[in-house]
Structure 1
Amino acid sequence: MAAVNHPPAVVLLTDFGTDDTYVGQMKGVILTIAPETRIIDLTHAVTPQDVTEGAFLLERALPYLPPESIVIAVIDPGVGTRRRAIAVEAGGRRFLAPDNGLLTPILLKNGPVQCVEVTNRRYIAPERSRTFHGRDIFSPAAAHLATGIALNTLGAAIEPADCMKLPMPGCTALGIGVWEGGVIFSDRFGNLVTSIDSSLAAEKDQWRLVLPDGTALPVRETYGNVPEGEPLAYRGSFGTLEVGVRDASALERFGLNRGEKVRLERL
C-alpha cells in the first residue's frame, strides 16, 4: 500500500484562551485554504501578552513537534503597530510570528535558513483587522505554506540578525554549588516553573531550592516523595526545576510571580 502524503501539521501557540472565538476563526481560515491540514493546539493559555513565556514554551515543546511542522505563534501586544510579521525557516520547520522576540530561541539556536517579512497580499487576507493578525496574516500565510508554496513567496528576505530578540530566562552561578534563577510561570496545577536547569541538581548529591522568603525546599524526584500537602522542588518536564505542593498549588501557597528569584544550593 502506498504511503499517504499529508500536508505538514500546523501548530498553534497563542495567549487567546478558548472562551472566545479567536482560535476557531484562525482554524476556519486555515482549513478553508488547506482543508486537509492537521492542526495541533499546543496551547492557548500563555499568560496574556507575556512574550517571554511564549518563547520559553515554544522552545521546550519544539523537540516533540512533528518534522516539517508550520508553527503559528501569536503573543502580540504590538499588534497593529509598525512591528513586522515574519516567517522563518529553521531546523526543517517554518514559523510565523510577530517580530517581537517570540522567536528568539529559533533565531538563536536553530540556524535559520531564511527569514522573510510577510507582506505578499496574495497570501494574506484582503482586508485585515488592526487587532487580529493571527487570523488575517499568520493563519492564511501558514495555510498557503501547507499547500506547498515556498517561504520566500510570502515577502522580501530579511536578515535573522535584524529580528528582535529577548533575553531568555536562565540562571547564574553564585559560587560553588549555588545557582540563582527565577520563576518563569505557573502551570494550571499551580506548579512554579523556574529557569534553573535540572541538570545542575545532579542526582548523586542532595539539593535544596531556596525561595525569596527563605523557605528551603528539598529537591525530590516526584510529588509522591513527600507527604500530602508538603512542598517540594523537583526536576520538571520542561528540563528546569519546578516548585510544587503535593495535591495542592504552589502558586497559592507561596504567591510567587514571574521574575522572583530562587536559589539552588548543594547540601
Structure 2
Amino acid sequence: MTTTPWISLTTDYGLTDGFVAVCHGVIGRIAPAARVVDVTHLVPPGDVRRGAAVLAQAVPHLPYGVHVAVVDPGVGTARRAVALVTPGGLLVGPDNGVLPEAARALGGITSAVELTAPGWLAAEVSDTFHGRDVFAPVAARLALGGRPADAGPQVDPATLVTLPTPVSRREADGFTAEVLTVDHFGNVQLAAGADLLTSLPGAVEVAGHPAVKGRTFGDVPAGELLVLVDSAGLVAVARNGGRAVDLLGVAPGTLVTVRGRVRG
C-alpha cells in the first residue's frame, strides 16, 4: 500500500472544547507529514444521519486518503470500531452507520477490519474518547502506509450497521421525500434525486407553501422559496436571502411533499 498523506476529520465535537485539537495532535505525533482536512466538527451531537450525509457528499471531492468520522453516541459500548477499504480511500470510525454511505461514494467496500490490535491504538483507551485513542492513531498509522489487515480481524461487510433508506417516493402530482440534511444557510436537502423534479411544472408547492422550480437562488425574488437540484445532485428547497427551514418548519427526518400547482 502506498503512503496516504491526507486525513480528513468529520465529527460532532464542536469548536468550544479541545477535542479536535487533541485529535490533530495525536495524528501529528504519529504521522507529522500527514495533511489534515477538517470537513466539519459541527455535526449536531449524536446525529449519525447528518454525519453520514456530510461525509458521503464530501469524500468524492477530497484527495485519496484516510477519512475519519466520529459521530459516536455509542462510544464505549459493544459497537465496533472499524476501518473500511474502498477503491477511493479508507474510512475509519464507529460501526453505527456513519461510514457506509461514504464507502459507496468511494466505489464500495472491498474489505473491512475491526480495530483491535493493541499496537495501533493508544496504550490506554478511554471509554469516552475513541476519537483520540482509537480512530486518530489508526488513521495516522494508515496514512504512514500501514496495512488495514494488521489493525485487527476481518469483518464481513454485510454485517456492518447501515442506516435505514430515507423515504423518497413518486406521487401522482409530485413526490414525497424525507429531509436528509439542513445546511448552514437553512437550505433543506431532500432525499430525492433530480429525476423527481424534472416532470414538475415551473410553479410548485412545498409542504403547502408556494415555490418556483429553478436553477439558482436568484431565480426568485428575495424571500421567496425555490426548489432546485443542489451541488450533490439532490432536490433542495432554498429561500432567496433567507432560511427555507424556518419557513417550512421542518427538521431532518420530516417528510415533505413537493407537487405542481396551478398559478392562480
Same fold (TM over 0.5): yes
1:119-162 Cα deviation digits (max 9, x unpaired): 01101101111111011100000001111110100001010011
Could you say which residue in structure 1 is the equivalent of 2:73? 77
Q: CA RMSD in A?
A: 2.0
C-alpha deviation, 1:108, in angstroms: 5.5
Could you say which residue in structure 1 is the equivalent of 2:192? 196
- Cα distance in 1 for residues equivalent to 2:203 and 2:59: 29
Structure 2: give runs of 5+ residues left out of the alignment.
Answer: none
C-alpha deviation, 1:234, in angstroms: 1.7
C-alpha deviation, 1:21, in angstroms: 0.9
- Cα distance in 1 for residues equivalent to 2:45 and 2:215: 31
C-alpha deviation, 1:209, in angstroms: 4.9
Could you say which residue in structure 2 is the equivalent of 1:99? 95
| 1:100-139 aligned within 5 A | 100-106=96-102, 110-139=107-136
Could you say which residue in structure 2 is the equivalent of 1:248? 242
C-alpha deviation, 1:102, in angstroms: 1.0
Matched, 1:30 2:24: no
| Residues 205 and 260 in structure 2, CA contact (< 8 A), matched pair in contact too | no
From 211, 218, 236, the counterpart of 1:217: 211
Secondary structure in 1 matching 2:259 = strand
- Cα distance in 2 for residues equivalent to 1:149 and 1:182: 40
C-alpha deviation, 1:101, in angstroms: 1.0
Deviates more, 1:137-146 or 1:159-168: 159-168
1:24-55 Cα deviation digits (max 9, x unpaired): 10000001000000001111121211111211
1:48-85 Cα deviation digits (max 9, x unpaired): 11111211222222221112x10001110100101000
Letter of the aligned partner of 1:39 in structure 2? V
| Residues 6 and 36 in structure 1, CA contact (< 8 A), matched pair in contact too | no
| Residues 206 and 259 in structure 2, CA contact (< 8 A), matched pair in contact too | no
1:143-190 Cα deviation digits (max 9, x unpaired): 011111101000010100111111132411223x62210212211111
Deviates more, 1:39-48 or 1:76-85: 39-48
TM-score of the superposed pair, with normalisation by structure 2: 0.91
Change (3 A) 1:66 1:209: farther
Secondary structure in 2 matching 1:29 = helix
From 244, 248, 255, the counterpart of 1:261: 255
| Residues 90 and 106 in structure 1, CA contact (< 8 A), matched pair in contact too | no
